[in-house]
């Protein structure tokens, strides 16, 4: 604030003399405004109480606000008598202890009772006046009208509650959505792999993000008493649309295999279904390996016949440490053309041999310090060579640790499926699903 003191010529030209009179009159009024007058009619309430709260002095402003007569208050009421019950409790549990401790307290929001039954929001500050010996004599209190402030605060409180409510709702929605996604995701994968006599199986599935449904899938299921079907694939895209295609793909493969388990026939059926279903406007397709495995209890070997539609070739890990691809050249993406050729490959697994299927999330993981190099097929081949001869469970665990090591370099979902003949044929078989 700017205060003009004394005589000082301003830039007012001719008005100069007239303007001199107003401050003079104001000064005169100020001189007549005694301390007592200021106390009584100050724009805030004043109150002095004894240490037990008994009101010893109160100004006209406060009496006027509360609609009380001086005679009814001074010596007759305590400060807490002027407060609403809630304010009184707050006074006793917070205000009074703090004032006792510190000798002063400021800006406490309380409500005072008015004689007409209304209430008046106020801000209260108090100090303890001490005698020469330091002993407390009385409490001086200033009361500010806080009606406007309280109205504003209530708006703030309301806004905060609304925001808080919205936040909780959003968090609950998000949790529910994640749970729904997780359930849906699990429905696209088998809970456990079936037990296959003379064969060991293991699988692993890793989503790149818990918020997103993945597009990778795999399954193993019995065809008749002797043969089992298996498949692993990758639907183009992610999210709910991809999940819908995954679901359709998975059930189509299983149903088709029951009619005619020949891998080419199964993939041809899937190609028809996907192509018809999604050809209009939004083409959806997948890459997939579908195969049949037939373990022979007598020889301890297993014959594999598989077909691939545009999927990375399966790896065969031999017990002797040799690792090779099972090439399926020329197989086309499934669902993209009305008719598509699919390449077939066969192999025989001897004891200790393992067949490994994977999706490209593994080979396309970004590696290196700057995360720009892709892991690649050759690196996978070398990794597999180090683990040749290990049972499927150990192989999948090793690959899972490899995925861990990629950290945030893993952009895409990854599915792994391994089928192996036990090194020493044992009665029954073991099955493990590490997904």
Partner 1 sequence: MDIERRNNVTVAGNPRGRTVVLAHGFGCDQNMWRLTVPALARDHRVVLFDYVGSGRSDPSAFSEERYGSLEGYARDVVEVCEALDLRDAVFVGHSVSAMTGVLAADAAPERIGALVMVAPSPRYVDDEGYRGGFSREDIDELLASLESNYLGWSSATAPMIMGNPERPELGEELTNSFCATDPDMARVFARTTFLSDSRDDLKKVTVPTLVLECAQDVVAPREVGAFVHRAIPGSTLVTLDATGHCPHLSAPEATNEAITGFLAGLR
Question: Interface with partner 1 includes 114 (CB under 8 A)?
Answer: no
Question: Interface with partner 1 includes 258 (CB under 8 A)?
Answer: no
**Segment near partner 1 (CB under 8 A), from 79-87, 331-339, 340-348, 360-368?**
79-87
Residue closer to partner 1, measured from CB, 93 or 346: 93
Rounded distance between C-alpha atoms, residue 77 and residue 54, angstroms: 6
Question: Interface with partner 1 includes 104 (CB under 8 A)?
Answer: no
Residue closer to partner 1, measured from CB, 102 or 259: 102
Interacting residues of 28 by C-beta distance below 8 A, sequence separation 6+: none
> Among all chains, which residue has been given the structure tokens 């604030």?
1
What do you get for the CA distance between the two ends of the chain, in Å?
Answer: 73
Q: How far is the CB of 124 from partner 1 (least distance, A)?
A: 11
The per-residue DSSP string of 228-263 comes to EEEEEEEESS-HHHHHHHHHHHHHHHHHHHHH---H
Question: Interface with partner 1 includes 109 (CB under 8 A)?
Answer: yes
The per-residue DSSP string of 211-229 comes to TS---EEEEEEE-SSS-EE
> In the window 353-372, what residues touch partner 1 (CB under 8 A)?
none
Question: Interface with partner 1 includes 80 (CB under 8 A)?
Answer: yes
Question: Interface with partner 1 includes 113 (CB under 8 A)?
Answer: no
313: tokens are 């070739």
Determine which residue in the list 42, 84, 138, 411 makes contact with partner 1, applying CB under 8 A: 84
Q: How far is the CB of 121 from partner 1 (least distance, A)?
A: 8
Write 241-244 long-range contacts (CB < 8 A, 24+). Answer: 241/282, 241/284, 242/213, 242/214, 242/215, 242/284, 243/184, 243/185, 243/188, 243/213, 243/214, 243/215
Question: Pattern of binders to partner 1 over 128-167, x per CB under 8 A?
Answer: ----------------------x--x--xx----------
Question: Interface with partner 1 includes 67 (CB under 8 A)?
Answer: no
Interacting residues of 331 by C-beta distance below 8 A, sequence separation 6+: 267, 307, 308, 309, 310, 311, 341, 342, 343
Determine which residue in the list 87, 335, 361, 420 makes contact with partner 1, applying CB under 8 A: 87
Binding site for partner 1 (CB under 8 A): 51-53, 78, 80, 84-90, 92-94, 96-98, 100-102, 107-111, 121, 150, 153, 156-157
């Amino acid at each position: 604030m700017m205060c003009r003191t004394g005589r000082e010529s301003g830039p007012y030209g001719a008005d100069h003399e007239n303007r001199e009179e107003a401050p003079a009159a104001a000064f005169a009024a100020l001189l007549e405004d005694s301390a007592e007058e200021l106390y009584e009619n100050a724009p805030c309430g004043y109150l002095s109480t004894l240490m037990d709260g008994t009101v010893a002095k109160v100004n006209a402003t406060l009496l006027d606000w509360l609609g009380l007569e001086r005679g009814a208050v001074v010596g007759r009421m305590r400060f807490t008598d002027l407060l609403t019950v809630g304010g009184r409790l707050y006074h006793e549990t917070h205000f009074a202890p703090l004032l006792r401790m510190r000798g002063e307290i400021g800006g406490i929001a309380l409500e005072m009772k008015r004689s007409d039954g209304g209430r008046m929001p106020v801000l209260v500050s108090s100090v303890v006046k001490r005698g020469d010996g330091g002993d407390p004599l009385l409490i001086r209190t200033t009361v500010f009208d806080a009606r406007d402030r309280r109205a504003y605060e209530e708006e703030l409180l309301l806004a905060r509650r609304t925001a808080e409510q919205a936040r909780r709702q959003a968090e609950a929605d998000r949790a529910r959505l994640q749970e729904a996604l997780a359930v849906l995701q699990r429905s696209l994968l088998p809970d456990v792999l079936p037990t296959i006599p003379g064969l060991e199986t293991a699988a692993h599935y890793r989503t790149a993000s818990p918020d997103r449904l993945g597009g990778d899938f795999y399954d193993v299921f019995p065809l008749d008493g002797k043969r089992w079907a298996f498949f692993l694939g990758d639907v183009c895209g992610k999210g709910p649309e991809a999940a819908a295609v995954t679901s359709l793909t998975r059930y189509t493969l299983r149903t088709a295999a029951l009619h005619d388990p020949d891998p080419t026939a199964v993939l041809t059926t899937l190609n028809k279904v996907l192509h018809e279903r999604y050809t209009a406007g939004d083409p959806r397709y997948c890459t997939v390996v579908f195969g049949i495995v037939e373990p022979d209890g007598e020889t301890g070997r297993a014959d594999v016949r598989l077909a691939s539609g545009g999927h990375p070739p399966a790896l065969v890990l031999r017990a002797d440490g040799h690792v090779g691809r099972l090439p399926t050249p020329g197989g086309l993406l499934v669902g993209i053309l009305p008719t598509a050729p699919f390449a077939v490959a066969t192999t025989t697994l001897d004891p200790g041999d393992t067949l490994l299927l994977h999706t490209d999330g593994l080979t396309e993981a970004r590696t290196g310090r700057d995360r720009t190099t892709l892991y690649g097929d050759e690196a996978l081949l070398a990794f597999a060579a180090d683990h040749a001869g290990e049972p499927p469970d150990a192989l999948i665990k090793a690959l899972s640790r490899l995925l861990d090591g990629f950290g945030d370099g893993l952009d895409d979902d990854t599915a792994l499926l391994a089928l192996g003949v036990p090194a020493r044929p044992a009665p029954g078989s073991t099955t493990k699903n590490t997904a």
